[in-house]
Structure 1
């Protein structure tokens, strides 16, 4: 059986130790899983060759193994470019991802920084409400005492009843100015607490993106507001913004050595608010998945840069190159056939426009579960109001019949 020598450079997303004797003991990662499937299709044996980490990166060490005929192909996938493929060939595209940027989450604005979720439970608020609800019966009681000549006890009892009817809008409310004041006060309280609840639902605060694409990032780099976190080696200038004076921006990119593990350089992103890491979206999401402080980071997906394709690299005139490409095509056709069969029932072809329209329609629909809680509260309030109204009507009919 032919042997396929696959070189694997250190990568936190790949676990070559799971690949033992052409069997998978655990999840080896996306690239090695594809190689395992290709080996099964081509009926070849896979021999994993571990590559040492090189200062210039994973690709340099694997290039050296390819040039010295130690391996046949790489187990890591890379983005092909003219400088990378001078001495090697590439496979058909395997993975495609949108370009993304990872930065430390910007600080909140003053409006949201001053928002306190526990503001309604402070002592000042409770004292203010107690003062308002104490002054209202006192004022109404003075009106009863001075205007109707009632005793102090009867004036206080009548004032409490008036305030209660004004707040809860019972049957036959008093026709006095205090009733309108009470309604205005209750409306103000409801408005204030509705605004508070809205702000609480919006907490944590919305973050304004410092940039949305590579052009806006270039402007930030030009003004030295950000620097690349994964940049190694000598500092070189590239005129991203196409300015008239590129010499004035000669220090656009700062040299910053990245730690070897993802968790360490994610920690560096938290320490420096001017660092930005550029990679594909899926890889950054995988890095953030195991990071404990991922909520302090902000992932920005580029809305202009097209999809990035990643490929395997192998030797020039590799004998199994065409066979591996055919296996990749076969797996893609198999996936499309499954998608055609199970997504549309085999009746019509799978189209991106249809899927996009369906997803937009689902997003625009509002589920009843969203307003389930407010509907229950409204029904309970209506029930209490109807019960109170019924009780007041019965008392009124009873008194009217007795009189």
Structure 2
């Protein structure tokens, strides 16, 4: 099969989907991206791009924009109920500790990738894959709204609750592994926070943070909390129930937490999900393959999933080009190349959960003591103390 004759349906227009579409088009394939949302999703939370992702962005010509849109926290304020706050200037710390690490708003990155590809790639918004029927020559795809079409290959890049994965591989509970916590992100109306500044309120098993966006200083809030059992999806999606659950999880906390909880009812953009990993190895079957969070999510808010999506999309496209569109050989080579890297990335979340969500008052106090000591220590020591971030940097920077 010649690459230029190969049509590839990509389900999902978030991060991994447009990335893969860019590289497939560049290598001579014909990608089509379908997205169930009616338009790109704005806003969201900051995502981390480590060195391998920035290397790929350099090759795409988008790295200068990403660096310009950097939202990396420069000033961190840690609050605890009944305790004196701690404030840190992170400029010198972040430079040494994170090497080529850039943080950017997810919605901005998604918009950039769409803009970079929209003139070369067909996008279909407001539709979703309904069924897949594979035969030796291709895959017949039925959509919820549009006409049926036939493709040579199908890629599920549609997130941790992937429709493609469910249709081709089986139900979510076979692949989605809960890691013991939940995350909520929203924009409380009227909240203003200077860009580059983050205030974190840390309690036992729960963390609330506010940060500013780079363009207009609109404040956004993140709530993280531990819970032994995963909250069912139908409860997280229910407007009243989701807000009640968040209020219960953070009851009794001080600082800005009551203000954030009061803003929940008026927030129209609440994202609320369980923190989980996707383990679907092998993440290909026949002519269907998974990419990004759909295949190997390392954990929302704690696992470096955006960098993994960059590396995975680039690897998949490169292997398809290298094999001349031989999907069986390409998928096998891609899996072999990425398997160890993804396994290491999956190891980040448990460590991050222990650091971000301490399980006792003593551990909360220890976290505060570490931050208070950082400015007083030589660089070698404070870098050692920032062990979680350094571990993520080491793991995610060693891409194949």
TM-score normalised by the chain length of structure 2: 0.28
Compare CA radii of gyration and give the structure with the larger one.
Answer: 1
Q: Which has the higher helix share?
A: 1
TM-score normalised by the chain length of structure 1: 0.28
Larger RCO (CA under 8 A, 6+ residues apart): 1
Q: Which has the higher strand share?
A: 2
